[in-house]
Structure 1
Amino acid sequence: MSMEKMNIGAIIKYHRQLKNMTQFELCNGICSVTHLSKFENYNKEANWETIMLLLDRLGISLDSIQQASKKISAELSHLLDAMLSYDKERATECYNRVEELKEYIKFSNYISLYHLYVYRYHLLMNDFESAEKEREIIRQIANSLAEQEKALYEFINGAFYIIKGDYKISLDILLKVEADDLLPSSWRAELYYFIALNYANLKDSSSSIAYGHKALEAFSRSFNYMRILHTQFLLGIAYTDLSIYENAAEQYRYIFKNMNLINTDELKSAMYNNYALLLEKMGRLEEAARHYILSMDHAKTNQEYLVSLCSYTELLISQGENEKALQNISEILRETKSGSMKKQQLIFRYYQYLLKNRKGKAMDFLENDLLPYLEKAYFVEDYNKFALSLAQYYADTNPDKALYYYKKIAERGE
């Protein structure tokens, strides 16, 4: 690695201050204080003889600086590879090694890349607070970034907005990054994956599948097995949403065949849950129930467990297993009091009234509490499902209200 990647003047200044030396003490007999001051502050080049004398007085070898430059380059590359492979454990090890080089990185041309990679690392580790701090640092130096670095910054911002749940903002950013075509090629597969993920969250399953296949092809070329499984999972969900069940089942067959080859523990609960949803839609209810239970058994968080418990309980209700469903509902209502699962709290309060033969109370709750929340939060699919139940309830007793809810469903494309 050539020395042009390192700012020798800044390194000399750093080590001089570290040793509590004045400029005069360092440069006496070597060069003038004015010359050293300009050299330390990027304003003047020094000849190699002067540099060697200054380094020698500081007790630093030129070779150590060259080795530091090579190490920075290597460790940043290792961190990049770990992040692209979605290997969180290895990424943390690489990040810690990079942080050990931080003082040298500050005086190198790697500083922008360092902040970009650290920004992405914190998002990977779901450390949103640290990610926001890095994002602000990069925003302040954005004008000094190279074109590819600016494209990478925008790409990581796209990932940032996915975590915030702002899928439309993220999609707009990422589609622009794709159109500009300046993103380093190593990040291209990730770009396609995140675009597919945004489309999935925005319920545009066809577009999600199109970009999912682009991501799958790119990940396959680099033998990125973890990301291949992530993409297959995304495709399985999209095909299920489009009722293309055989294609969805094909994705899950691939996942379950290969998921034991690599560490996928954090994905197993979600994979089993979504495969159970597919099985339920295909009418394979016993298998669906078994996979919901598997999902709960592999849950790493309480929320993962509750998501599968809710789906499993709805399956029990559809099968008329009301006693078992009511037991589960008691647990769901007890555990979903936080705002993040308000939808589940309301839905299963409604189910509880129904299963306890309080249909009038259930319909009042549906009309005055559940449906208004679903409409305001824009849960379209859920709104239509429960609005249909209310319309059918009013069909004989209040045709005007029934018609009102049928029209509401029609307005949403159902």
Structure 2
Amino acid sequence: MKECAFAWGENFKRFRESRGMSLKEAAGDFCTPQYLGRFEKGMQKINTELLDLLIGRLGVNMTDFITDLHSYNPSYSDKMAETVYAYIQNGEKADTIWKEIDHLYEHGKKDDLYLASYYVIFLKTMYHIQTNIPLENLLDQSDYEKVDYLKNRLLDLDELYTFDYAVLDILLDPIPDQFSTEYLLQIFNSTIKKLKIISNAAPTIHQAVSFLGTAIRILSTRGEYALAEDCVKKVYKLLNDTPMVAMINPYFQMIIAFQEAHNLLRQNKVEGIDKAHHIIRTLDHMIAINPLPRIVKHKEQFVRDTLLLNKTGLPIDLKGGE
């Protein structure tokens, strides 16, 4: 039975207070108000089964609760980046880390090679994020060999899981040029196939849908508009035909809608304006019902990107065309 950390109690309290509920109302018949109060203060551990019941009383599902926890608190990736930055500031320590990983890369077993290759690229990507030094200035020939190894390993795997999509994520955004269109489509189609039969592996579904959105964006920025549109249709069909995927997080469809609108705007199609207005209205409605920081942040980013991409000559109504 897994137990939840202190930050979870803080997050629960924030949701409870935002709904004007007392400890007694939130606890219901599942636990005492005193027990719940200690949990919120980090003085009482709680198992995930009870937490799931309690957040249900707040009108929140576990997926949104966890996602909001990561949005509201400093993200794990930010903490990792700060740690990596501090570590790399000491050049001698950084060299030692990379030499150890390189040694593992050269002499380790297949799984060791996979992890070692990933962590080398991950470390340098985090350093790039913290310093704004172009990533290509940080990667040497041996690093690009590791990228090739990771790409080939991903293709060799019979099935991709959460960590595999994390590997794709750390590679695709900073160095998309290392991935051919054919490669992206191969992984994209295998992911669609996987999601049609997956049942309840929520973390893998989250990572997989994130990859699908990234792949569509990359195809569109390359001018492969028809391919990007075809991929959008495949995801919509997946969400329609596979309710479990949509149920894990109803926001998945919105992630793909972002890319659909931007793909249209890159072609200077006015349909992109209509799509953007619909998305803004939908986001405003979602925020009015439940103002999760994650959704507010996504709306702000969508509006910024949409304004930059709009070359149609038509204005973007930030109230969603109302």
Bin for the TM-score computed over the shorter chain: 0.3 to 0.5
Q: Which has the larger radius of gyration?
A: 1
Higher relative contact order (CA 8 A, sep 6+): 2
